[in-house]
Amino acid sequence: MSLSTLTKPWEAMSYGFLDGSAKRELRRKMLKSVAVPGCQMPYASREVPMARGWGTGGLQVSLTLVNPQTRVKVIDQGADDSVNAASIRRFIARVAGTPTTMDTLEADLIQSRHRIPEEVLRDDQVLVLQVPNPEPLRPVQPNMSIARQMHADADYGRMWLQLYEQIVRSGRVMQGASYPSLVHGRHVMTPSPIPRWDVPKLHMAKHLTILSAGREKRIFAVPPYTRVEPLVFSDVPYKVEDHGNLTCTRSGTTGFFMNEIPQDDSSSAFEVSDSEWGVKTIRAREGEGESRGETWYKDGEMPQ
Amino acid sequence: MTLTLDAPRIVETRPLLEVKAVSKSYGPVQAVRNVSAHAYPGEVLGIVGESGSGKSTLLRMMNLEEIPETGSYTLDLPDVSGNLFELDRFARRMLCATKIGIVYQNPHLGLLMKHSSSGNVAERLLVAGERSFATLRQAATEALDASEFPLDRLDAPPIELSGGMQQRVQLAKAIALEPALLLLDEPTTGLDVSVQALVLDTLKRLQQDRQITMVIVSHDLGVIRTLADRVMVMRRGEVVETGLADQIFQDPQHPYTQQLVHAKL
Amino acid sequence: MTQVLEIDRLTKGFSLHHLEKDIAAFEDISFSVAAGEFVLLKGANGAGKSTLLRTLYRSYLPLSGEIRFHSSHGMIDLARAADVDVAHLRRTEIGFVTQFLTARPRVSAEAIVAEPLRLAGWEHEAALKTARKALETFGVKPDLWAAYPTTFSGGEQQKVNLARALILPQKLLMLDEPTASLDANARRALVARLQELKDQGTAMIGVFHHPDDVIHLIDRVVDLTPDAAPQEDRDDVAL
Residues C222 and C151 in one domain: no
Q: Angle between the B117-127 and B133-146 helix axes, to the nearest 10 degrees? A: 120
Is residue C128 located within the same domain as residue C239? no
Is the Cβ of B159 closer than 8 Å to some Cβ of chain A? no
Judging by beta carbons within 10 Å of its beta carbon (0-12, 13-18, 19+), is residue A290 exposed, middle or buried? exposed
Q: Domain holding B98: CATH number? A: 3.40.50.300
Answer whether A153 sits within 8 Å of B90, measured CB to CB: yes
Please give the helix or strand (H or E) that residue B233 lies within, else none: strand B230-235
The total number of structural domains that make up chain B: 1
CA distance A233 to A214: 32
Which of A150, A161, A167 would best serve as a mutation to test chain B binding (most B beta carbons within 10 A)?
A161
Chains touching B, CB cut-off 8 Å, 3+ pairs: A, C
pLDDT tens profile C167-222? 988 899 999 988 877 888 888 888 999 999 999 999 999 998 888 888 889 999 98
Provide the residue range defining the domain that includes B38. Answer: 27-264
Domain that holds residue C82: 1-93+170-239
DSSP reduced 3-state for A120:
coil
Classify residue C53: in a domain, yes or no: yes
Q: Are B89 and B78 in contact (CB under 8 A)?
A: no
Measured CA to CA, the distance from residue C230 to residue A120 in angstroms comes to 102
Q: Closest chain A residue to B157 measured between Cα atoms? A: A165
> Is residue C236 predicted with pLDDT exceeding 50?
no
> What is the percent of chain B with per-residue pLDDT over 90, rounded to a whole number?
70
C98 within a domain of the structure (yes/no): no
Could you say which of B3, B10, B243 has the minimum Cβ distance to residue C62?
Answer: B3
Residue B5, in any domain of the structure? no
A139's torsion region: left (phi>0), alpha (psi -120 to 50) or beta?
alpha
pLDDT value of position B1: 56
DSSP 8-class letter at B153 = G
- CB contacts of C82 in chain B (<8 Å) are 5-9, 11
Residue C237, pLDDT > 50, answer no
Q: C-chain residues within 8 Å CB-CB of B246? A: 59
Is B7 contained in some domain? no
Q: Closest Cα of chain B to C63: distance in Å?
A: 5
Domain count, chain C: 2
ipTM of the complex: 0.87
In degrees, rounded to 5, the angle at the alpha carbon of residue C109 between the alpha carbons of residues C105 and C112 is 80
Contact B118 A168 (CB under 8 A): yes
Q: Fold for A20-230, please state it.
A: Rossmann fold (3.40.50)
Q: Is the pLDDT of residue C104 over 80?
A: no
Distance CA A201, CA C66 (A): 81
Average pLDDT, chain A: 94
Mutate which of B136, B144, B153, B160 to disrupt the A interface (most A C-beta within 10 Å)? B136
Amino acid at position C69, single letter:
F
We report the CATH number of the domain holding residue C40 as 3.40.50.300
DSSP 3-state of C67:
strand
User: Is C211 within the bounds of a domain?
Assistant: yes
A49/A92 Cα distance (integer angstroms): 11
Q: Which of C153, C169, C185 is the last residue of a domain?
A: C169
Average pLDDT in the C66-89 region?
Answer: 93
From CA C157, how far away is CA C152, in angstroms rounded?
Answer: 6
pLDDT at C230: 47
List, for residues B3-55, the tens digit of each pLDDT value: 788 888 888 899 999 999 999 999 999 999 999 999 999 999 999 998 889 99
Could you tell me if B156 lies within 8 Å of chain A, comparing CB atoms? no
Same-domain status, C107 and C42: no
Considering CB atoms only, which of C61, C77, C118 is closest to B247?
Answer: C61
Which one of A145, A164, A182 makes the best mutation probe of the B interface by having the most chain B beta carbons within 10 Å? A164
Same domain, C67 and C182: yes
What average pLDDT does the structure give for chain C?
A: 86
pLDDT band at residue B148 under the 50/70/90 scheme: confident
Which strand ranges, in their side-by-side order, compose the sheet holding A41-42? Answer: A41-42, A218-222, A208-213, A126-130, A109-113, A72-76
Whole-model pTM: value is: 0.85
Classified as helix, coil or strand, A167 is helix
Query: What span, in angstroms and rounded, lies between the C-alpha atoms of C177 and C154?
Result: 14
What percent of chain C clears pLDDT 90, i.e. is strictly above it? 43
Q: What is the mean pLDDT of residues A153-169?
A: 92
Q: Is A207 left (phi over 0), alpha (psi -120 to 50) or beta?
A: beta
Secondary structure of residue B264 in the 3-state scheme: helix
Give, for B61, the enclosing helix (H) or strand (E). Answer: helix B55-62
Cβ-based contacts of C13 with chain B (< 8 Å) = none
In a domain, B196, yes or no: yes
Q: By the CB < 8 Å criterion, does C85 face chain B?
A: yes
User: Residue C118 falls within a domain, yes or no?
Assistant: yes
Residue after which a domain boundary falls, among C146, C169, C192: C169
**Is C188 found in the same domain as C83?**
yes
Structural domain boundaries of chain A? 20-230, 242-295
- Tell me, what's the pLDDT at A96? 94
Residue B129 maps to a domain: yes
- Chain B stretch 85-144, residues whose beta carbon is closer than 8 A to a beta carbon of chain A: 89-90, 93, 112, 115-116, 118-119, 122-123, 126-127, 131-136
Q: Does C238 reside within a domain? A: yes
Phi, psi of B153 (to 5 degrees): -110, 20
